[in-house]
Chains A and B, each alone.
Chain A
Amino acid sequence: MEANKIIPDPAQVREELIQKYPAKVAKKRAKSIVINDPEIIPEVQANVRTVPGIITQRGCSYAGCKGVVLGPTRDIVNIVHGPIGCSFYAWLTRRNQTKPETLMDANYIPYCFSTDMQEENIVFGGEKKLKVAIQEAYDLFHPKSIAIFSTCPVGLIGDDVHAASREMKEKFGDCNVFGFSCEGYRGVSQSAGHHIANNGVFKHMVGRDNTPSEGKFKLNLLGEYNIGGDAFEIERIFEKVGITLVASFSGNSTVRAIENSHTADLNVILCHRSINYMGDMMETKYGIPWMKVNFVGAESTAKSLRKIAEYFGDDELKARVEAVIAEETPKVKAVIEEILPRTKGKTAMLFVGGSRAHHYQDLFAELGMTTVAAGYEFAHRDDYEGRDVLPKIKVDADSKNIEELKIVADPELYNPRKTDAELDALKEKGLEINGYEGMMKQMTKKSLVVDDLSHYESEKLIEIYKPDIFCAGIKEKYVVQKMGIPLKQLHSYDYGGPYTGFEGAVNFYKDIDRMVNNPVWKLIKAPWETAGNGKGAGLEASYVTQ
């Protein structure tokens, strides 16, 4: 077992990270690189523009809207209005698994739809072509819903995707058509697209189906996209404990489930960044409280299940939750006990997403590994510092461009699931209702927090800290591995997973053990490089007779 590594002085590291930047850039980046103190959490500059020319991990608003939030629902025909590329790149690359109940059920996820705009559409407008495309999609597939996504040029040439959608929706009568103005230049990252998607899904889908849902303990799973089958594992556990999943936003989900989601009695939020708007809006309009949970990590899963049981306040449910935890835990324990001696004391860095860099720290903690530095790609301050900071966040020009829906209580459907007194009592018990304490509270003192890490900074960090594993995405994967450090992709899981729940924890332990202890990392140098090339003295005569 390796001894605990000496952690470098973070203040010095920070200086080194910004040293090479032009003065203005250095000043800006310095505010996004902070030394953590879980007691008095320092301010992190987040959700601000990336400096042009910096090699960033970030993508665009369209990626956040279509790719992340809307993509995983299997029975919407998602038409991307724009030139071909944007649609092509978002085609099946996010690994949102889905499982239609029968062979007859709709599943458009393996398809890629685009209006493939040509020059004349840019010059003379593309709305006509868009309407033709919607008509053709309708004629070919007769889907329940068609969603339209605007890419960069569309906003500039002034195509009104919303008007086109409304017109086609009225024309069809039996197909819900709606659009998203999620052009890539909106906001500063994918995050803008999450917000735009939340607004659209809330406006055009949630609440369309008032059929009362069955079940005693009904909830929605928000911000779980079923990458690598994560949602399947959570579904398995819910079924075991007797919780009814009304809708998932949006892994393995269907249009109908989302339209009916307001009949649930609780929203649990996994990825706070991408879906917290939905939690707030559903609370205001329908009176459904939300609660932050985390199903990444065996202990976190157990904790989250207990929180849910506590919320419903039912003894039978609580007992079942305990029984399931008791049943699942030994399998997990057996694996981790065998692996722990090989992973304990090692270090990890996580720079990814808007919630994963937080959640996965739980799994690393279970592996006995320390997170020495972490940060998000597109999060906001509240994801770092906790939601208490929300009133203090100033709205800049980039955020102002994104619509804030004005939501009021629904005159008929508003039904507060808990009274204020009940909510207070739950809070007394330590349940964080409608709240999230962020990543930094959980990280150790003097660990490093960096928002929107650049390529340059990542190489420096690796040089200085020499972590045992680095977690990021595909663009970083082979760069880091070329440096002889394994990189775990936390968007695509390197095509493995699931990593949620109990079975997911086991998968993750095994994967990390395999990665950090793989003999290949010791085979990088050729023998003549370590032995000294050309320094041999010829063969020695070592012929041995008996």
Chain B
Amino acid sequence: MLLRHTSKEVKVREGLTINPAKTCQPIGAMYAALGIHGCLPHSHGSQGCCSYHRSTLTRHYKEPVMAATSSFTEGASVFGGQANLLAAIDTIFAVYDPDIIAVHSTCLSETIGDDLQQITRKARDDGKIPEGKYVIYASTPSFIGSHVTGYSNMVAGMATQFAESTGAKKNQFNIIAGWMEPSDMREIKRLAKVMGINIVLFPDTSDVLDAPQTGKHVFYPKGGTTVAELKSSGDSLASLALGSISAEPAAIALEKKCKVPFETLDIPIGLTATDRFIMAISKVAGVNVPDEITEERGRLVDVMCDMEQYLHGKRVALFGDPDQLLPLTEFLLDLNMKPVHIVSGTPGQRFEKQMRQLLDERSPETNFKSGLQADMFLLHQWMKNDPVDLLIGNTYGKYMARDEDIPFIRFGFPILDRIGHSYFPNVGYGGSLRLLEKILNAIMDRQDRDALEEKFELVM
């Protein structure tokens, strides 16, 4: 047994987190910043954080992940990190020549009390930022929230620090991407195109973290939302924020700064969340939904009808991030499956409320916990008490899946041991169909594996 010390008996913990279902803010900020074209993320703190964040993102994407650090030593920790950040800005523009440096803080610089707004302003006043270049920032203390909060803060920072309203509206809509994969962002752009609307999608990591092999390392890959697009987001007709934790704060910022109205939606994972997404576009832009989309939807529903017998009543445990868990849970319920245990380390009253509401209506007996001590250790204990047929979550889930001998689907962040998430989406009808295929494969492979010889089926 890999997790041999995990006992069945659940004891309330108040100090110790075991096997967390979340990580820290800056990695989210770093990921978001990679979705701006020509941007170098910068970690303001000691080297270690930056190294860990880059390593984890690299393992997840199997792609270069460039980011710099203020390389604090003890002196900086005592006297403040201003000198380090100013020196870093100099070095970065001279050596790596980005269009934008996106600075995020770390626990250390937050504890010291470094003020990123003041330091970056000083950098500008001191002439350290070349003409036409930018330094933006987001405060991302990890003792608040989770990696999702960090993502959200950086995306909100993009809106507040770039968006401008010229007074003349543009015929375009903002889609603010909640934490999703490059493949998902690519799919969102495709759907918008099929719907016939112009969008500014930000951030956008497609063509950044799924870059092709060309024999050349392109330091700033071709993808990413451009500065011009980000600026113009203030002139858009409306914003759709995909994800109440990871995307909505940016939409609120845009509304405050440039009076762009917004609507918050779930990330379109699964049938009904995608329906709402398509309906919202149709409504806000006043466009008809083309047949192409209706047919995509039809294909998904077709498989749901045809394969319902394998899904019905299957018990699922899941862990991950709020903005993905909500639509995923809804999708499982639409598939007539039973989400039995749900855990997210990311805290948030809004999420608690939304998830409770969904569960109260459709699955009141589900175990659900988020925030402190809502960790994989607890989830595993729940699974021992109340076994499931399927586990869905990030790579760390494979230890539980192996010990309990249950099928496992990798979903969320980080996925360290498989590829696919950067290339094939989970959003939209097509993405949901892929997710459904994975679910079916996991369940049916298990049925094949466990079937008695006389019960082994050819056709299923």
Q: Which of A409-444 contact B (CB under 8 A)?
A: none
In the complex with contacts A88-B20, A185-B108, A136-B13 CB distance below 8 A: yes
Chain B residues near A83: list those with CB within 8 A. Answer: 24, 107, 141-143
Nearest chain B CB to A415's CB is how many angstroms away?
A: 38
Against A, the Cβ 8 Å flags (1 = close, 0 = not) of B87-126 are 1111110111000000000111011100000000000000
B458 at the A interface (CB under 8 A)? no
A103 at the B interface (CB under 8 A)? yes
Against A, the Cβ 8 Å flags (1 = close, 0 = not) of B1-32 are 11111010001011111111011111100000
Contact of B58 among A106, A152, A474 (CB under 8 A): A474
Chain A residues near B108: list those with CB within 8 A. Answer: 152-153, 156, 184-185
Q: Are A398 and B74 in contact, with the CB atoms below 8 A?
A: yes
Q: Are B111 and A54 in contact, with the CB atoms below 8 A?
A: no
Q: How far is the CA of A53 from the CA of B56 in the complex (A)?
A: 20
Contact of A184 among B7, B14, B49 (CB under 8 A): B49
B198 at the A interface (CB under 8 A)? no
B73 at the A interface (CB under 8 A)? yes
Q: Which of A277-295 contact B (CB under 8 A)?
A: none
A324 at the B interface (CB under 8 A)? no
B200 at the A interface (CB under 8 A)? no
Chain A residues near B27: list those with CB within 8 A. Answer: 85
Q: How far is the CA of A462 from the CA of B431 in the complex (A)?
A: 39
In the complex, how many residues of chain A place their beta carbon closer than 8 angstroms to a beta carbon of chain B? 92
Q: Are B111 and A84 in contact, with the CB atoms below 8 A?
A: no
In the complex with contacts A106-B5, A132-B14, A184-B46 CB distance below 8 A: yes
Q: Which of A103-158 contact B (CB under 8 A)?
A: 103, 106-108, 110-119, 121-122, 129-137, 139-141, 151-153, 155-157
Q: Which of B26-54 contact A (CB under 8 A)?
A: 26-27, 42, 45-49, 51-54
Q: How far is the CA of A52 from the CA of B75 in the complex (A)?
A: 13
A401 at the B interface (CB under 8 A)? yes
Q: How far is the CA of A412 from the CA of B144 in the complex (A)?
A: 52
**Stretch from B61-69, B256-264, B269-277, B321-329 forming part of the interface with A:** B61-69
**Stretch from B213-221, B286-294, B382-390, B440-448 forming part of the interface with A:** B213-221
Q: Which of A5-25 contact B (CB under 8 A)?
A: 20-22, 25
Contact of B111 among A22, A63, A122, A475 (CB under 8 A): A122
Least CB separation from A56: chain B residue: B47
Least CB separation from A107: chain B residue: B4
**Stretch from A235-243, A339-347, A476-484, A502-510 forming part of the interface with B:** A476-484
**Stretch from A186-194, A223-231, A306-314 forming part of the interface with B:** A186-194
Chain B residues near A61: list those with CB within 8 A. Answer: 48
Q: How far is the CA of A382 from the CA of B114 in the complex (A)?
A: 37
Least CB separation from B26: chain A residue: A85
In the complex with contacts A50-B47, A118-B143, A482-B211, A111-B3 CB distance below 8 A: yes
Chain A residues near B24: list those with CB within 8 A. Answer: 83-86, 88
Chain A residues near B214: list those with CB within 8 A. Answer: 482, 524
Q: Are B111 and A156 in contact, with the CB atoms below 8 A?
A: yes
Least CB separation from A131: chain B residue: B15
Least CB separation from A106: chain B residue: B5
Q: Are A103 and B1 in contact, with the CB atoms below 8 A?
A: yes
Q: Are A119 and B141 in contact, with the CB atoms below 8 A?
A: yes
In the complex with contacts A20-B95, A118-B372, A133-B15, A60-B49 CB distance below 8 A: yes
A172 at the B interface (CB under 8 A)? no
Q: Are B68 and A185 in contact, with the CB atoms below 8 A?
A: no
A326 at the B interface (CB under 8 A)? no
Q: Are A79 and B54 in contact, with the CB atoms below 8 A?
A: no
Q: How far is the CA of A116 from the CA of B42 in the complex (A)?
A: 24
Least CB separation from B66: chain A residue: A55
Q: Are B46 and A54 in contact, with the CB atoms below 8 A?
A: no
Chain B residues near A90: list those with CB within 8 A. Answer: 52
B426 at the A interface (CB under 8 A)? no
B85 at the A interface (CB under 8 A)? yes
Q: Which of A43-76 contact B (CB under 8 A)?
A: 49-63
B309 at the A interface (CB under 8 A)? no
Q: How far is the CA of A356 from the CA of B66 in the complex (A)?
A: 24
Q: Are B91 and A111 in contact, with the CB atoms below 8 A?
A: no
Least CB separation from B2: chain A residue: A110
Q: Are A59 and B48 in contact, with the CB atoms below 8 A?
A: yes
Q: Are B111 and A483 in contact, with the CB atoms below 8 A?
A: no
Q: How far is the CA of A157 from the CA of B77 in the complex (A)?
A: 11
B84 at the A interface (CB under 8 A)? yes
Q: Are A63 and B52 in contact, with the CB atoms below 8 A?
A: yes
Q: Are A136 and B16 in contact, with the CB atoms below 8 A?
A: yes
B244 at the A interface (CB under 8 A)? no
Nearest chain B CB to A214's CB is how many angstroms away?
A: 28
Least CB separation from A63: chain B residue: B48
Q: Are A84 and B22 in contact, with the CB atoms below 8 A?
A: yes
B146 at the A interface (CB under 8 A)? yes
Q: B-contacting residues of A (Cβ < 8 Å)?
A: 20-22, 25, 49-63, 79, 82-93, 103, 106-108, 110-119, 121-122, 129-137, 139-141, 151-153, 155-157, 183-189, 397-398, 401, 455-456, 459, 473-475, 477-484, 524-525
Known: A85-B23, A89-B52, A184-B108. 10 other contacts (CB 8 A): A25-B94, A52-B68, A84-B22, A85-B49, A85-B53, A112-B18, A114-B20, A185-B46, A474-B58, A478-B58
The 6 closest A-B pairs by CB, nearest first: A60-B48, A85-B24, A132-B15, A53-B91, A53-B88, A133-B15
Can you list 17 contacts pairing A with B, beta carbon distance less than 8 Å? A25-B91, A54-B68, A59-B48, A60-B49, A79-B16, A84-B24, A89-B56, A103-B1, A132-B14, A152-B107, A184-B49, A186-B73, A397-B74, A478-B63, A479-B66, A480-B217, A482-B214
